[in-house]
Every structure is written in C-alpha cells, then in structure tokens.
Amino acid sequence: MRKSGKRPTLKEKKLIKNARLSVDNWLVQKKDSEFLYLVNRATSKVRKIPLKERS
C-alpha cells in the first residue's frame, strides 16, 4: 500500500507553482535532499520536482 500524500506547506506551494502545476491538484508524498515527490489527488500519478532552481 502506498502512503497517501499530505497538504503542501507554503514553501512547497511556491515550488509547485514554479513547476507550473496547480497547487490544488497535488499532495506531497515525500521529500528528500534533492526532490519533492508529488501525488495527484485525482489520478494518483506521481511526479518529482527539484527543490532548488537549476542554473
């Protein structure tokens, strides 16, 4: 069984918006040192976005 997601914090919401995703559709599944793993509320699709801006 997969662990369900949690609501994003304000800092995580900013990262989600910067990745051009809708904050209302995504939950935070897990967070490690490099990536934020998101799960879609409707489809359960998992995406990962970087925690830091790439230069």
pLDDT tens profile 4-46: 899 999 999 999 999 999 999 999 999 999 999 999 999 999 9
Report which secondary-structure segment, H or E, holds 10: helix 10-18
How many Cα atoms within 13 Å fall on the side-chain side of residue 51?
10
Q: How many CB atoms lie within 10 A of CB 41?
A: 13
Rounded to two decimals, what is the model's pTM? 0.85
